[in-house]
Amino acid sequence: MAMTVAELAKAVGGVVVGDGTKVVESCNTLMEATAEQVSLLHNAKYARELDTTRAGCVIVAPGTVKGGGEAGLTLIEAKNAYYAWQQTMVMLHGQRRHESVGISQQAAIHPTAKLGKNVSVHPFAVIGENVEIGDATTVYSHVTLQRGVKIGKETVLYPSVTVYEECVIGDRCLINAGTVIGSDGFSYAQEGGVHHKMPQRGNVRIEDDVEIGCNAVVERAALGSTVVGRGTKIGNLVVVGHNCRIGQGNLLISQVGIAGSTNTGKYVVMAGQAGVNGHLDIPDFVKVGAQAGVMTNPEPNAEIVGTPAMAATEVKRIFLNTLRLPELAKRVKELEKKLGEKPEARSQKPEENSKLETRNSR
Amino acid sequence: MAMTVAELAKAVGGVVVGDGTKVVESCNTLMEATAEQVSLLHNAKYARELDTTRAGCVIVAPGTVKGGGEAGLTLIEAKNAYYAWQQTMVMLHGQRRHESVGISQQAAIHPTAKLGKNVSVHPFAVIGENVEIGDATTVYSHVTLQRGVKIGKETVLYPSVTVYEECVIGDRCLINAGTVIGSDGFSYAQEGGVHHKMPQRGNVRIEDDVEIGCNAVVERAALGSTVVGRGTKIGNLVVVGHNCRIGQGNLLISQVGIAGSTNTGKYVVMAGQAGVNGHLDIPDFVKVGAQAGVMTNPEPNAEIVGTPAMAATEVKRIFLNTLRLPELAKRVKELEKKLGEKPEARSQKPEENSKLETRNSR
Amino acid sequence: MAMTVAELAKAVGGVVVGDGTKVVESCNTLMEATAEQVSLLHNAKYARELDTTRAGCVIVAPGTVKGGGEAGLTLIEAKNAYYAWQQTMVMLHGQRRHESVGISQQAAIHPTAKLGKNVSVHPFAVIGENVEIGDATTVYSHVTLQRGVKIGKETVLYPSVTVYEECVIGDRCLINAGTVIGSDGFSYAQEGGVHHKMPQRGNVRIEDDVEIGCNAVVERAALGSTVVGRGTKIGNLVVVGHNCRIGQGNLLISQVGIAGSTNTGKYVVMAGQAGVNGHLDIPDFVKVGAQAGVMTNPEPNAEIVGTPAMAATEVKRIFLNTLRLPELAKRVKELEKKLGEKPEARSQKPEENSKLETRNSR
């Protein structure tokens, strides 16, 4: 596929600055793009690469570079430059296609399962009793769908996905390799030195247009449903605990963990390795920083970081003061001297020195 | 199944407050329960839901609500209310059943493998040379049991579990989908710029009544055995390093990581995302907080939090002082003014401001 | 296999202290070794076990124990004792062998796939269109290699590994069970309340001699390649984000997460659960502590810990001051009293007390 810069700008709702007649046919980074390629400046960190890029055209936010800059670049200015880039990538490179392969003779499909039109089932998939699969859905190799699972249409289950009994997955979902939907919540009642397993008799309901990364886990509810809302995107190795209700359009980045019975509003974002306590309510548009530990309910729209997680501005202020602590301690000592105080002996215990050593598993 | 409140109370060792003749047939949350349902008040956070619940009966700890409260509820008071609820759930809803399916013709079973009575082997399971499986154990689809693995009786291996050679799993264990038992410990000797792989020639021994969540990993020992003690429950995505000896009745919640050669006592609890250094001894009944980083041996029964992990009470005290640091700094400045000191210029470096930005992977 | 201590010392480049004629035949820990076994003292923590060990021979660094010590032990002194031990383990115990089983009739292999000599393919493996596999490589059960994947020679793909289309894995690699190579990067452009999926049309290139643990994920590049450099070793449940370029000889320990477009130099070490922001450059020989959160580029050779990660020495200094904060606050109060100030009321808010409770998922 090839198109002129002017055609591309029109397609993505952008404005050409420079030569709109140039032809571009693919995308690349600023550093590696050639004259036939489109590139993007999204992160200010890479701005200096504009001086040397050979890209035929660069997508930027309006006003980022004046008139193509000294290098005389051809630009497409777009209000949402990243979205313009996404559209360009789709036009010039396309999304992954899933070949229609029909129903493999090497799959194990229960006679009661109902498969829609144009469903693809790859070798060694296992489809259980009363499973229902919508039109044009792809079930890759080594997927297991247990009894009573319902999958919507145009959904893709990548290799080795396991869906436990009675769970429901919507339309146009992408569930990546190794992810497990509907395993039991971690729930035991301790009595007499024994952890008695709490039955987990609910299910998981994943709404439409959800993508889940690899080797993630969404636990089934004890009763009722664990829900993942429409359009939510979940990264690799994320755990969503039992009875959580994750709202619409959330972004849960890799290795996030959310304990049981926590609800999130719309468009909540959790950065990598964040952890959230159980039984919380995370309101709309909250942003949780990487590695944050959320232990209380944040305010709507809050940006929170740290463990325990607090408003980012507050955490920064405290952090900066912490950096100056050694100096503050010195100043207090000075004051004490001036006032004739004899500072108490505060010998540094030697064992404290070893507490922060780099840890490794050997 | 249906029973009267009086019958239920008797079965769970509780005391009826209110109308014991009511019939209940299932369980639900306080918010959603109907007149034929039992509910539970376990977390004080939900106490106000007692005012509006329509549950036929609520299980509570003794003295939680006086005489059914204003709403005139029927209660079952039980000393261990959560355990009473677990028993109720088992009676009215039951645990998951694993259908007896015999030995699938589509499984690959080595002729030397020894399978007990009533073993179920689902399609595409792979059972290697000299594997032994006890009576009434279920091996789901896509499980791989390598050479010499021994599995006890009434154990369930969910789909896509992999057990490396020579590992041993006890009776009544539940190993959830995607979990790997017995892969090599992370161990290399560096010499000449090369990481030379240390042979890992021990195994893993999982004792009876252990449950392990999804996509977790228990590494095999270099020599001898990595051990998971009887009745221990392990969450999703947990890593237990090589040569660890995890004691009896531990609870290791999702995403915990334990480095090699660490031992734990009885009934140790580690909350989500906690990390534990290698070569440590974690004594009986220690509780490790979520996201804690354990770098030294705690005291028995200690409750530890933070990184490096310390006694929770101590960490709280320091944390509260940290919150007041900006104010403390101001007070020191005041004192200096009063004493005619000229505080040194302590300009805030601008780059420090950016250190705590919300991180995401884009 | 059995050999004399003298033979062993020669083989590992060490020096015998004591009786070189003793015969040893296997390895064990100091605590459990018998007279026919070799042991190792590597971690000073275990030094007192030298007094009671019955090991026939102990490998130590030169000068660790004078002349065999009071117990009259036979020693092999080796400069790199851990490497000497690794060589000993290989000689006496060997690495895992992968039986040559040929091509299983129960595997699904596309007719266009090209398999080298002595390739082993186990039951229920799936090998797609135009896949190429080098000589003597082992593909275990439930592995999926999608269209166009290229695997080198003498590589081992353990059960349930999934490699997405067009990815490349080198020679002598070990990819452990459940690991996924080449799934899509987490990348969406938000517009109109929708997260539009960014096509991920690059691949992953894993160089020679790489080992990856279980249930890890290496995301494919949006364009170009995500690269894992030669000789790098990656632990369990690690996530390497899209477009990362991981250098040669890195050690990324279990549960590490690296966001997209970050590069690492040579011999970088990241301890367990460390997280690294996207678009960073981590120079050669940097050591990142366990659970550290790296948000800015460190210096070459730096040892960094904490969140946000900073030089370990600096973090220690601040941490020690933090421990003394309650006392510092008291001293400031004393000074204020002395100067006739009336300290403001600083009542401890009760809700702050609950912020650091041990979290668990129930």
Instruction: Confirm or reject contact between A110 and chain B (CB < 8 A).
Output: no
Nearest chain C Cα distance for residue A293, angstroms: 10
- What tokens does A141 get? 């190799």
Contact call for residues B214 and A180 (beta carbons, < 8 A): yes
Which of A193, A254, A362 is facing B278, going by the closest CB pair?
A362
Contact state of B361 with A272 under an 8 Å Cβ cutoff = yes
- What tokens does B105 get? 């013709």
SS3 A326: helix
- Cα torsion for A325, A330, A336, A342, to the nearest 10°? 110
Selected residue of A320, A325, A339 to mutate for chain B interface (largest B Cβ count, 10 A): A320
Respond yes or no on whether the N-terminal peptide bond of residue C62 is cis (omega within 30° of 0).
no
Q: Over the stretch A290-337, which tens digit does the pLDDT of each residue have?
A: 999 999 999 999 999 999 999 999 999 999 999 999 889 898 888 888
SS3 C117: coil
Instruction: Confirm or reject contact between A162 and chain B (CB < 8 A).
Output: yes
Contact state of A93 with C201 under an 8 Å Cβ cutoff = yes
In this structure, of A334-338, B73-77, B263-267, C239-243, the range with the lowest mean pLDDT score is A334-338
Residue C361 has pLDDT above 60, yes or no: no
CA distance A181 to A177: 12
Nearest chain C Cα distance for residue B59, angstroms: 17
* pTM exceeding 0.80: yes
Q: List the 1-20 stretch of A: residues with Cβ below 8 A of C.
A: none
Respond yes or no on whether the N-terminal peptide bond of residue B308 is cis (omega within 30° of 0).
yes
Which of C162, C259, C332 is facing A159, going by the closest CB pair?
C162
Cβ contacts of residue B338 below 8 Å, gap of 6+?
Answer: C339, C341
pLDDT on residue C342: 57
Instruction: Confirm or reject contact between C293 and chain B (CB < 8 A).
Output: yes
Q: What is each CA distance from B157 to A300, B119, B140, in whole angstroms? A: 43, 11, 6
Cβ contacts of residue B158 below 8 Å, gap of 6+?
Answer: A162, A183, B140, B143, B174, B175, B176, B177, B179, B214
- B122, B142, B242, B279: the active-site residue: B242
Compute CA B166 distance to the chain's CA centroid, rounded to the nearest angstrom: 26
Contacts of A164 in chain B (CB under 8 A): 177
Contacts of A27 in chain C (CB under 8 A): 223
- What tokens does A6 get? 């002017």
Contact call for residues A247 and A265 (beta carbons, < 8 A): yes
Contact state of C360 with A259 under an 8 Å Cβ cutoff = yes
Contact state of C189 with A83 under an 8 Å Cβ cutoff = yes
Dihedral class, residue A198 (left if φ above 0, else alpha if ψ from -120 to 50, else beta): beta
Instruction: Confirm or reject contact between A285 and chain C (CB < 8 A).
Output: no
Q: Over the stretch A93-128, which tens digit does the pLDDT of each residue have?
A: 999 999 999 999 999 999 999 999 999 999 999 999
Instruction: Confirm or reject contact between C177 and chain A (CB < 8 A).
Output: no
Q: What is each CA distance from B356 to A43, A289, B5, B353, C274, in whole angstroms? A: 17, 8, 55, 7, 16
Residue A344 has pLDDT above 70, yes or no: no
DSSP state of A66: G
Nearest chain A Cα distance for residue C155, angstroms: 21
Summary mean pLDDT of chain C: 93
pLDDT on residue A343: 52
Instruction: Confirm or reject contact between B355 and chain C (CB < 8 A).
Output: yes
Q: List the 49-68 stretch of C: residues with Cβ below 8 A of B.
A: none
Contact state of B278 with A321 under an 8 Å Cβ cutoff = no
Dihedral sign for Cα A158, A161, A163, A169, please: negative
Selected residue of B145, B320, B324, B341 to mutate for chain C interface (largest C Cβ count, 10 A): B320
Which of B82, B267, B273 is facing A275, going by the closest CB pair?
B273
ipTM for the whole complex:
0.93
Share of chain A above pLDDT 70, in %: 94
Selected residue of A25, A86, A120, A234 to mutate for chain C interface (largest C Cβ count, 10 A): A86
Instruction: Confirm or reject contact between C178 and chain A (CB < 8 A).
Output: yes
pLDDT on residue B342: 57
Instruction: Confirm or reject contact between B110 and chain C (CB < 8 A).
Output: no
Contact state of C293 with B359 under an 8 Å Cβ cutoff = yes
Residue A288 has pLDDT above 90, yes or no: yes
Greater confidence, C340 or C355?
A: C340
- pLDDT bracket for residue C83 (50, 70, 90): very high
Residue A67 has pLDDT above 60, yes or no: yes
CA distance A158 to C359: 33
In this structure, of A2-16, A65-79, B84-98, C134-148, the range with the lowest mean pLDDT score is A65-79
Nearest chain A Cα distance for residue C289, angstroms: 4
Which residue has 């991180």 as its token pair?
B359
Cβ neighbourhood burial of A192 (10 Å; 0-12, 13-18, 19+) = exposed
Residue A68 has pLDDT above 90, yes or no: no
Which of B177, B235, B361 is facing A253, going by the closest CB pair?
B361
What DSSP line would sit under C248-293, residue for residue? Answer: TT-EE-TT-EE-TT-EE-TT-EE-TT-EE-SS-EE-TT-EE-TT-E
Question: Which partners does chain C have (≥3 C-beta pairs < 8 Å)?
Answer: A, B
Q: Over the stretch B167-183, which tens digit does the pLDDT of each residue have?
A: 999 999 999 999 999 99
Question: Which partners does chain A have (≥3 C-beta pairs < 8 Å)?
Answer: B, C
Q: Over the stretch A27-52, which tens digit does the pLDDT of each residue have?
A: 999 999 999 999 999 888 888 999 99
Residue A352 has pLDDT above 70, yes or no: no
Residue A69 has pLDDT above 90, yes or no: no
Compute CA B337 distance to the chain's CA centroid, rounded to the nearest angstrom: 55
Contacts of B158 in chain A (CB under 8 A): 162, 183
Dihedral sign for Cα C235, C239, C242, C244, please: negative
Dihedral class, residue C323 (left if φ above 0, else alpha if ψ from -120 to 50, else beta): alpha
Nearest chain C Cα distance for residue A21, angstroms: 25
- pLDDT bracket for residue C334 (50, 70, 90): confident
Nearest chain C Cα distance for residue A82, angstroms: 6
Contact state of B290 with A272 under an 8 Å Cβ cutoff = no
- pLDDT bracket for residue C44 (50, 70, 90): confident
Dihedral sign for Cα C200, C143, B165, C133, please: negative
Contact call for residues C241 and C258 (beta carbons, < 8 A): yes
Nearest chain B Cα distance for residue A21, angstroms: 31
Instruction: Confirm or reject contact between C238 and chain B (CB < 8 A).
Output: no
Mean pLDDT of A3-22: 97
pLDDT on residue B348: 43
Q: Which residues of C are catalytic?
A: 242
pLDDT on residue A350: 40
Compute CA C307 distance to the chain's CA centroid, rounded to the nearest angstrom: 20
Residue C93 has pLDDT above 70, yes or no: yes
Mean pLDDT of B193-206: 98
Q: Over the stretch A152-198, which tens digit does the pLDDT of each residue have?
A: 999 999 999 999 999 999 999 999 999 999 999 999 999 999 999 99
- pLDDT bracket for residue A342 (50, 70, 90): low
Selected residue of B139, B217, B270, B281 to mutate for chain C interface (largest C Cβ count, 10 A): B217
Q: List the 23-52 stretch of C: residues with Cβ below 8 A of A.
A: none
Phi, psi of B87 (to 5 degrees): -65, -40
Q: Over the stretch C286-330, which tens digit does the pLDDT of each residue have?
A: 999 999 999 999 999 999 999 999 999 999 999 999 999 988 989
Q: List the 188-207 stretch of B: residues with Cβ below 8 A of A.
A: 188
Report the candidate in B277, B270, B233 with the shortest Cα–Cα distance to residue B255.
B270
Q: Which residues of A are catalytic?
A: 242
SS3 A341: coil
Mean pLDDT of B78-99: 97
Which of B85, B158, B272 is facing A259, going by the closest CB pair?
B272
Q: Over the stretch B132-160, which tens digit does the pLDDT of each residue have?
A: 999 999 999 999 999 999 999 999 999 99
Contacts of B220 in chain C (CB under 8 A): none
